[in-house]
Every structure is written in structure tokens, then in C-alpha cells.
Amino acid sequence: MGHTRKLRSSPSKLGVRRHSAAIFFENAKKRKVMDELLLNSSLRRVDSASGIVHPPRQHANPPGETPFIVLPVESRFSPMFERSRFALDIGGTLLKLVYSSVCQPGSKPQHVLNNGNKQKKLSEDPEVHVNFLKFGSIETCIEFIKKNWKDRVETDVLHCTGGGSYKHAELLQKALGVKVRRTDEMNSLIYGCDFLLRNNEDESFTYHHEAKGLEKFQYRPINADSIYPFLLVNIGTGISILKVDSPTEFQRVGGSSMGGGTFIGLGNLLTSATDFDALLKMADRGDHRKVDTLVSDIYGGSYGNLNLPGDLIAGSFGKCNKYDNRPSSTPPSPEDIAKSLLLMLSNNIGQMAMLYGHRYGMKRVYFGGFFIRKHPITMRTLSYAINFWSKGETEALFMKHEGYLGAMGAFLDENGDHA
Ligand SMILES: Nc1ncnc2c1ncn2[C@@H]1O[C@H](COP(=O)(O)OP(=O)(O)O)[C@@H](O)[C@H]1O
Ligand SMILES: CC(C)(COP(=O)(O)O)[C@@H](O)C(=O)NCCC(=O)O
């Protein structure tokens, strides 16, 4: 993959999702849980290889501007000036859509900088924008594509990946009147991840819980030569762990069924939360110590011989044990349960990621998938597991387009590897 120019990633007040369109489908009040801190590019950048810290960039963000990326000027992308391209990742829970649109000169304010004075500048050349959207059901997704892929004709191709690219191929073909071309899910993840890391300076970042405000996030741009190898832990409905040596050489070294699907599934059974965001909000307010048995509950303090601190969770959900006539404690609230559930899963994933990272001697572990949703508890737990246990040797990295890696990869795979 040769690239000539860095991508521009639109800064946004709201984060990675294309919110203007998302508002169309989601209740705006419900989608406020996260993302807000990853506002724009006004974060410090730390070069992953050299450790050099760069100051924040200055952007003038037109209020309400929505995120997109601008494709680099490359011949392989030229056809998108003439025809739109749509790609879909149909996973076990969500459908992720990535599609192109052409922005004509002067139609959108572009980036800006003049000795610190923010000024708006209109783009001079047409450019191809790539837009990102997610859906909870195939029906709403098909409706959106029907409305927005206006120039489609029957020879056009919908690039698809994920399990649903098999399961729903016929439905999509019939409903949209285009061909469906598949890219293998793991290949798509890697193509998408490679492209974003290589081209988008604002793509990957580290999370620092102890810091304040935006200082919690640091972008980690990386030179194209230093990207490989890395471990990719994709947390969707289930988890896939990939050791990646190049865009075409990788191995799925592990996986787990205890991922995002478990969180929403058990969350649904154990609390009254009606959706993922509500569950995360509950977790924010919860106190897991009312649900989990801590080391101090067993030892009365820390377990010094093993260096286990008293506040370490010894047994997730241990305090919900009502067998053996145990003295009953105050029943935990749904918020406490949500927090405990989120900690249980992210601790487990963090430990798995750390062990696989260690086993393959990886310096960088990237986390993808929509389970993360840039949630502080999740990112803190995953970062802690990696950084603490590797004694700083391995870095835990998150991605701005976390849930869109597969869809991005299918978008880039013009010919499809399962045509
Ligand atoms: N709006 C949402 N609705 C449902 N699940 C969500 C939502 N946002 C994040 N999630 C979490 O993300 C997971 C799905 O992640 P994703 O990467 O899209 O995987 P998949 O490809 O399996 O659908 C869900 O299981 C859930 O934990
Ligand atoms: C089957 C899957 C690749 C599907 O991907 P997803 O829709 O979850 O993103 C994934 O759920 C997975 O790797 N599950 C874990 C299976 C295991 O190794 O136990």
C-alpha cells in the first residue's frame, strides 16, 4: 500500500461518529456517554518510536462539523470522484457503514491556521470524503443506503465483510439491486487498521487516567516503517486476537466469547438498562465494591506475600452469593452491577491481551471494536493491564475509528478477496 499524502481527519466536537447522520437514527440524549473527550486534534502527540512530544495542533472547528476523513490523492481512489463506494461490516451486533462522498470546492470550510488566529478557508479542489455510520438493524441500514446511494446501478458493488456478509448477501442484493462482494473479516480488520494507522495521524492514542481533561488522551502517530509487528485485540460481540506482521501476514492467535455481546447480554438480564449507552452510564455511577469480593474482604487487608492490594477484586460478583446462609448485605443497585460487569470483562480482556502480547513479544497492543466506545473505565482497565504487567515495555493503544476497522478494510478492497 503506497500512500502519498496523510489523511485529514475532520476534527469534531463530538468524536468519531458521523453525528449529523447518527442523530437521524439515535436519540441524541442517549449518545452523550462518551466520545466527547476525544473532541478534535487539540491533543498532544507523542511519537511512538522516538517518544518525542509534539504540541497540539490548532484547528478551527466550525461548530457542529461532523467527522469524516479525506482520502489521500491516489490513483486508486480517483474513480470515487465519479461513483460512490459503499462498504458494510455486518457483525454479530452492529452494522458498520463506510461510504464515500465528493466534496466540491468551496462547499465546506477546511482546516485553518494563521499564526494562532483561527480562520476559515474553503477547499480549492474537490476531495473524496469517507463517512462512518453504525446501525443496530439491517432494515435501518438498508433504508439509509437506499436513500443515500443515489448513483447506484446494478453493476455497482457493495463491499461487505463480517458474518452478515454471508448471512444477508441475498437480502442486500435484492433490496439494493447491486452486487455484493465479500472480503474476509480478519483481512478487512487488518487492511482497515493498516490504512488508518499509516495515513491518519490522529488515529491511535493512549489513555492516561490519572491526567486531567484532554491530557488523558495522547495521540500516537507512527511512522509507516515502524507499524509492524503489533497485536490487535478486536472486541466486538466476541473477541479476536491477531498477531499482525504485515498487512498480508497475520495469525489469529486467540479469541474469547466473553466480549461486547456478554456485556450487553448480561447487562440486559441483570439491570433495567435499555441499551448499551444506558448500561455504560449506569456503570459510571456504580460502586463495584458492593458486588465484588475484594482481597480485603477475605484477608482483612492486602495479601502482602503475593503483593495483592486490598482493593483488588478477588472474585467478581462474589458478594452476590446468597448460598450457605451468608449474612445478607445491602443489595447492590443496578449501577453497581453494571460497573462490576464492565470491570469483570475489561479486566479479563486486559489480562488476555497482556498474556498474548507477552507471549509474542509485542511492543504495541491496539484495541479495536465497538465494545470500547472510548469509555474511561474500559480504557483504564485495559491500559493498566498492559502497562503495569509489562512494566511499561508494551503500550496499550486505542483507535479513533475503533469499530470501523473492518468496514474500512472492505471499503479499500476494491476487487474483494471472495469475489
Ligand atoms: N449502540 C450500541 N448498540 C449495541 N452494542 C453496542 C453499541 N455501541 C457499542 N456496543 C458494544 O459493541 C459491541 C459490538 O461491537 P462491534 O465491534 O460492532 O462488533 P460486531 O462486529 O460483533 O457487531 C456490542 O456487543 C456492545 O458491547
Ligand atoms: C466469530 C467472530 C470472529 C465474529 O466477529 P464479531 O462479529 O464478534 O466481531 C468473533 O465473535 C470471535 O472471534 N469470537 C470468539 C470465538 C472464540 O475464539 O472463542
Question: DSSP labels for 24-87?
Answer: HHS-GGGGGSSSTTS-SS-S-EE-TTT--EEPPP-----TT----EEPP--GGGGGGGTS--EE
Reference 404, options 376, 382, 372, 364; nearest CA is 372
Within 6 Å (CB) of ligand 1, which residues are found? 91-94, 136, 162, 236-237, 260-261, 263-264, 276, 369-371, 373, 403
Give per-residue pLDDT as tens, 337-390.
999 999 999 999 999 999 999 999 999 999 999 999 989 999 999 999 998 788
Q: What is the pLDDT of residues 224-264, one digit of tens each?
A: 999 999 999 999 999 999 999 999 999 999 999 999 999 99
Query: Kind of pairing, strands 53-54 and 45-46?
Result: antiparallel
User: SS3 for 5?
Assistant: coil
Using one digit for the tens of pLDDT, what is the confidence trace for 179-201? 999 999 999 999 999 999 988 87
Kindly tell me if the per-residue pLDDT of 318 is higher than 90. yes
Q: Which of 183, 184, 239, 372 to mutate to test the pocket of ligand 2 (most atoms within 8 A of CB)?
A: 239
pLDDT given for residue 313 in this prediction: 96
Percentage of the chain beyond pLDDT 70 is 78
Higher pLDDT, 16 or 273: 273
pLDDT tens per residue, range 122-137: 556 788 888 889 999 9
Q: What's the pLDDT score for residue 283?
A: 97
Instruction: Tell me, in angstroms, the distance from the centre of ligand 2 to residue 135's CA.
Output: 19
Q: Are residues 344 and 377 in contact, defined by beta-carbon separation less than 8 angstroms?
A: no
Taking the C-alpha atoms of residue 258 and residue 204, their distance in angstroms, rounded to an integer, is 24
CA–centroid distance, residue 135 to ligand 1 (Å): 10
Query: b vs e for 285-324, b when ≥16 Cβ sit within 10 Å of the residue's Cβ?
Result: ebebbbbbbbbbeeeeeebeeeebebeebbebbebbeeee
pLDDT greater than 50 at residue 145: yes
Rounded Cα–Cα distance for residues 234 and 368 (Å): 4
pLDDT above 70 (res 100)? yes
pLDDT of residue 107: 58
Q: Which residues contact 176 (CB under 8 A, 6 or more apart)?
A: 142, 145, 146, 149, 152, 158
Instruction: Decide if pLDDT at 278 tops 50.
Output: yes
Strand-pair partners of 254: 241
Q: What is the distance in A from the centroid of ligand 1 to the CA of 352?
A: 20
Exposed / middle / buried, residue 258 (Cβ in 10 Å: 0-12, 13-18, 19+): middle
- Ligand 1 centroid, distance to 92 Cα (angstroms): 8
Pocket-forming residues, ligand 2, beta carbon under 6 Å: 91-92, 162-163, 236-240, 255-257
Distance 60 CA to ligand 1 centre (A): 32
Q: Cα torsion for 47, 205, 367, 193, to the nearest 10°?
A: -70
At 60 the pLDDT is: 36
What's residue 38's pLDDT? 40
Which pLDDT belongs to residue 53? 64
> How high is the pLDDT of residue 19?
25
Name the grid cell of 122. Answer: 474553503
Which of 30, 34, 89, 94 to probe ligand 1 with, by most ligand atoms within 8 A of CB?
94
Name all domains of the chain by residue range, CATH numbers in brackets. 8-223 (no CATH), 255-402 (3.30.420.40)
What is the pLDDT confidence band of residue 52, given thresholds at 50, 70 and 90? low
Q: How far apart are CA 384 and CA 350, in angstroms?
A: 8
For the chain, what is the mean pLDDT? Answer: 83
323 vs 288 pLDDT, higher one: 288
Q: What is the pLDDT of residue 104?
A: 81
pLDDT value at 108 more than 60: no
Q: What is the pLDDT of residue 233?
A: 98
0.95 exceeded by pTM: no
pLDDT beyond 80 at 32: no
H or E element, residue 378:
helix 376-389
ipTM of the prediction greater than 0.95, yes or no: yes
